[in-house]
């Protein structure tokens, strides 16, 4: 997957510049990067590990990690925010195995196709774009495509993916949360991911054909 950096937002460009300077050991750039992203990454960590003290510890690890691994960030292969977000998610997920066996995560999720479900709210809040053909090429279009593809999944598939992504739940925890057998949940997740990729690939094909025609 190659990412044409010319299509990036000013924010992405700025974060990429900061990351490249952090890779050279530039502390000023590191502080600027912390200023620009710590609230967002703390939000991500707190979703997965809701223990406030642990989440603060995890966020420290995240930035220690960013300082040490910034040289491995490859502008040609990922967007800076995706890379930063993935570092945060991975450290947060790692912190869960240190947690007591009983997960403290309490989901406000209520039902499979229930519009009042907490997770549904998050999905609906994803940026959507009633975009024209050219705007389809930007990030909002990616978000829009993902939102539409999420909506195309079955309720169970969508719910299992949302619980795993937003709450950091394992298969077993998703199964418990949804009162379903483990095997059933595993297959919802697997099929959900497969359908999602097929749907996103179709959407990307459409964007490419518009791009080709333009």
Partner 1 sequence: MDYSRPALVERLAAEYALGTLRGPARRRFETLLPAHPALASAVQAWQQRLQPLAAPVAPVAPPANVWTGVQRRLFGEPVPAPGWWQRLGLWQGFTGVALAGVLGLGVLLSQPPEVQPPLVIVMNSTEAGTPFVKTGFVASISADGGALVLKPLGTLTLEQGRALELWAVPGKGAPRSLGLISAQQQATTLLRAHLLKDTAAFAVSLEPAGGSPTGAPTGPIVSAGTI
Give contact residues for partner 1 (rule: CB under 8 A): 1, 3, 10, 13-14, 17-18, 24-29, 31-32, 34-36, 38-40, 42-44, 46-48, 56, 59-60, 63-64, 67, 77-79, 81-83, 85-86, 89-90, 93, 97, 122-123, 125-127, 139, 142-143, 146-147, 161, 164-166, 168-171, 174, 189-190, 193, 196-197, 200
Q: Nearest 5°: phi and psi at 162? A: -65, -40
**Which residue, 98 or 213, is less far from partner 1 as judged by CB?**
98
Closest distance between partner 1 and the C-beta of residue 113, in Å? 19
Residue 24, classed as helix, strand or coil, is coil
Per-residue b or e along 122-140, where b marks 16 or more CB atoms closer than 10 Å to that residue's CB: ebeeeeebeeeeeebbbbb
Side-chain half-sphere CA neighbours of 82 within 13 A: 13
Closest distance between partner 1 and the C-beta of residue 214, in Å? 22
**Which residue, 112 or 187, is less far from partner 1 as judged by CB?**
187
Closest distance between partner 1 and the C-beta of residue 147, in Å? 7
Closest distance between partner 1 and the C-beta of residue 52, in Å? 9
**How far is 166 from 64, CA to CA, in rounded Å?**
23
Tokens of 181: 């057998």
Ramachandran region, residue 180 (left: φ > 0; alpha: ψ -120 to 50; beta: rest) = beta
Reduced DSSP (H G I as helix, E B as strand, rest coil) percent helix, strand, coil of the chain, to 5: 75, 0, 25
Closest distance between partner 1 and the C-beta of residue 212, in Å? 21
**Which residue, 26 or 112, is less far from partner 1 as judged by CB?**
26
**Which residue, 17 or 154, is less far from partner 1 as judged by CB?**
17
Are the beta carbons of 3 and 74 closer than 8 angstroms?
A: no
Closest distance between partner 1 and the C-beta of residue 86, in Å? 5
**Which residue, 112 or 200, is less far from partner 1 as judged by CB?**
200
**Which residue, 204 or 210, is less far from partner 1 as judged by CB?**
204
- Comparing CA positions, the residue from 30, 29, 32, 59 lying closest to residue 44 is 59
**How far is 129 from 136, CA to CA, in rounded Å?**
8
């Amino acid at each position: 997957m190659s990412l044409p950096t010319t299509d990036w937002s000013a924010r992405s460009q700025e974060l990429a510049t900061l990351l490249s300077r952090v890779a050279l050991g530039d502390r000023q750039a590191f502080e600027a990067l912390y200023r620009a992203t710590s609230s967002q990454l703390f939000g991500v960590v707190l979703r997965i590990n809701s223990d406030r003290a642990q989440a603060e510890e995890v966020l420290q690890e995240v930035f220690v990690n960013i300082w040490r691994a910034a040289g491995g960030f490859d502008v040609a292969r990922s967007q800076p925010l995706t890379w930063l977000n993935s570092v945060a998610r991975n450290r947060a997920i790692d912190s869960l195995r240190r947690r007591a066996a009983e997960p403290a995560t309490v989901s406000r999720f209520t039902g499979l196709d229930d519009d009042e479900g907490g997770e549904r709210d998050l999905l609906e809040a994803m940026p959507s774009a009633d975009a024209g053909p050219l705007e389809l090429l930007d990030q909002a279009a990616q978000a829009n495509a993902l939102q539409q593809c999420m909506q195309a999944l079955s309720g169970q598939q969508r719910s299992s993916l949302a619980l795993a992504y937003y709450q950091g739940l394992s298969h077993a925890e998703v199964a418990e949360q949804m009162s379903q057998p483990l095997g059933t949940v595993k297959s919802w997740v697997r099929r959900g991911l497969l359908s999602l990729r097929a749907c996103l690939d179709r959407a990307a094909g459409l964007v490419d054909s518009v791009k080709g025609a333009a």
